[in-house]
């Protein structure tokens, strides 16, 4: 910890980035520099007898309850080297501006707001966040947020929406005022405590042992004609990892698919009935499709995002807590769908137990420990074909079922990504159905193959959901290319 004197003469304590922030910063600098990658933009809109005055008050109160909006970043000279530091500026304000886009069609207003998301902006010693009260066509109203990604991950961004709407409904309908949020400072201090803890030593030892004793994984491509491992194996038949980034082209496009409410409900109902994990069912579908694309390979790995929000402090203190880990499963054909979900959950739980150990350190340990010498960092050689994240539902308070049916939650992509292919699965705001969002780097991905990939994921999931005792071999026969 050190101190900094701000322009207004106030002295604040400054702290290094947490490990999760360091990874985000590294990914930006390494894979996506000079892009708006460090900002995350979203919007939430609905139709009701709209009270702009109350929403503005609600936003201002939610802003006051959110330390993360007052985090600032600065460069400090540490032993002659610039180091990124953070501090909470209690006086920092996030004004709520009102913007009326109701005179243009929804699609046009979407493009306007996407333009805001894509605007480059500075990161150090300056305001970082934009929150706007928005009026859209056809009676839709709500708010747009462009938040700094070092201070907010997807979970935190959604948590802000939940808090704002709870306050809005309290003001408009007299519902209970939401419980207090938690201190970002306390959550940050917890992260720093871990760095000197015995638990971190134990986690490091676990990963060292794990990587030094495991068999070599294998890359499973979602590209059909352009299968990168098969290409590499022509030169080197024993190769099992590939290099994904041959050039620095972070430009992406987004492909979004909506799963019907009926099919989404079938998945949720099965998980409830059989006490299964929803993300594990989804990840089983993903790894089964990857298997089908690679001659029914039983050994499949991809990266998955863990937002590490278990305690109430971590859930309610906003911030960015993302760590990325490889999820490797070896699932034989004779396992039933239900058994395979349990196998994915076992693999996931094993990672969860040691996931406070940060992503960058984990790459280093992997490099030291793996017999094959592969680094398994996406920037070099990797077995992890793509990245997956599941955004668990955080229920946004709503006035009535009629209003709920009109709610829209929107992400505004920046069209730049540090990841080659990133699948996010989240729940729609109006009916809780699943939305599959593929962010893909245009230079390295075949859109045609992705359009085959998605239906295979869904077919694998729904086949298993409708018959949990079916074997994985039978599912692979059904979804084969």
Q: Which residues bind other proteins (CB under 8 A)?
A: 179, 272, 275, 277, 279-280, 306-312, 342, 345-346, 348-349, 352-353, 392
Q: How far, in Å, CA of 453 to CA of 285, rounded?
A: 11
Nearer to other proteins, 67 or 203 (CB): 203
Q: Rounded to whole angstroms, what are the CA distances from 481 to 25, 287, 326, 338, 459?
A: 39, 15, 26, 23, 12
Nearer to other proteins, 146 or 182 (CB): 182
Closest approach of other proteins to the CB of residue 342, in Å: 7
Nearer to other proteins, 65 or 146 (CB): 65
Closest approach of other proteins to the CB of residue 475, in Å: 22
Nearer to other proteins, 9 or 310 (CB): 310
Nearer to other proteins, 37 or 302 (CB): 302
Start-to-end CA distance of the chain, whole Å, equals: 56
* H or E segment to which residue 16 belongs: strand 11-16
Backbone angles phi, psi at 405, to 5 degrees: -65, -20
Closest approach of other proteins to the CB of residue 350, in Å: 8
Closest approach of other proteins to the CB of residue 52, in Å: 29
Q: How far, in Å, CA of 304 to CA of 394, rounded?
A: 19
Closest approach of other proteins to the CB of residue 322, in Å: 13
Closest approach of other proteins to the CB of residue 313, in Å: 8
Closest approach of other proteins to the CB of residue 173, in Å: 17
Q: In 88-183, where does DSSP find H-type helix?
A: 106-118, 154-173
Contacts of 179 (CB under 8 A, 6+ apart): none
Nearer to other proteins, 107 or 273 (CB): 273
Q: How far, in Å, CA of 115 to CA of 209, rounded?
A: 47
Closest approach of other proteins to the CB of residue 308, in Å: 7
E-assigned strand segments in 231-380 = 242-243, 252-258, 299-306, 323-330
Question: Which residues are registered as beta bridge partners of 99?
Answer: 134
Task: Give the position of tokens 């540090």.
Answer: 418
CB atoms within 10 A of CB 90: 9
Nearer to other proteins, 330 or 392 (CB): 392
Task: Give the burial class of 399: count Cβ atoms within 10 A of its Cβ; 0-12 exposed, 13-18 middle, 19 or more buried.
Answer: middle
Nearer to other proteins, 103 or 269 (CB): 269
């Amino acid at each position: 910890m050190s101190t900094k004197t701000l322009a207004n003469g106030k002295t604040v304590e400054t702290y290094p980035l947490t490990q999760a922030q360091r990874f985000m910063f590294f990914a930006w600098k390494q894979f996506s520099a000079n892009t708006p990658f460090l900002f995350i933009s979203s919007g939430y809109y609905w139709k009701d007898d709209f009270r702009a005055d109350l929403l503005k008050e609600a936003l201002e109160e939610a802003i006051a309850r959110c330390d993360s909006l007052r985090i600032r970043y600065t460069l400090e000279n540490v032993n002659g080297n610039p180091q990124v530091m953070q501090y909470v500026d209690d006086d920092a304000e996030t004004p709520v501006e009102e913007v009326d886009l109701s005179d243009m069609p929804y699609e046009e207003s979407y493009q306007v707001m996407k333009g805001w998301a894509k605007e480059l902006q500075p990161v150090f010693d300056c305001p970082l966040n934009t929150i706007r009260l928005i009026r859209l066509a056809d009676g839709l109203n709500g708010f747009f947020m462009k938040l700094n990604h070092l201070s907010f991950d997807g979970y935190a961004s959604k948590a802000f929406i939940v808090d704002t709407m709870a306050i809005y409904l309290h003001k408009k309908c007299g519902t209970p005022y939401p419980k207090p949020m938690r201190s970002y400072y306390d959550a940050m201090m917890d992260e720093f405590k871990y760095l000197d803890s015995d638990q971190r030593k134990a986690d490091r030892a676990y990963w060292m042992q794990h990587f030094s004793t495991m068999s070599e994984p294998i890359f499973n491509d979602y590209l059909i004609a352009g299968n990168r491992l098969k290409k590499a194996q022509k030169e080197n038949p024993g190769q099992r990892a590939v290099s994904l980034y041959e050039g620095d082209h972070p430009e992406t496009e987004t492909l979004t698919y909506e799963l019907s409410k009926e099919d989404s409900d079938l998945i949720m109902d099965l998980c409830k009935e059989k006490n299964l994990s929803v993300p594990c069912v989804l990840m089983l579908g993903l790894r089964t499709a990857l298997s089908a694309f690679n001659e029914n390979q039983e050994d499949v790995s991809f990266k998955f995002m863990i937002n590490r929000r278990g305690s109430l402090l971590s859930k309610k203190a906003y911030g960015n807590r993302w760590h990325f880990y490889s999820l490797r499963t070896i699932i034989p054909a004779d396992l039933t769908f239900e058994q395979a979900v349990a196998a994915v959950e076992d693999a996931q739980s094993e990672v969860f137990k040691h996931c406070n150990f940060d992503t960058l350190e984990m790459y280093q340990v992997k490099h030291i420990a793996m017999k094959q010498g592969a680094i398994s960092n996406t920037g070099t050689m990797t077995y992890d074909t793509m990245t997956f994240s599941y955004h668990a539902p955080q229920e946004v308070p709503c006035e009535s079922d009629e209003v709920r049916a009109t709610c829209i939650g929107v992400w505004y992509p920046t069209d730049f990504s540090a990841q080659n292919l990133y699948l996010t699965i989240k729940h729609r705001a109006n009916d809780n159905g699943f939305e599959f969002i593929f962010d893909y780097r245009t230079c390295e991905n075949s859109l045609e193959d992705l359009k085959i990939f998605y239906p295979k994921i869904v077919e694998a999931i729904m086949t298993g959901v409708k018959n949990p005792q079916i074997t994985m071999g039978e599912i692979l026969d059904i979804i084969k290319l």
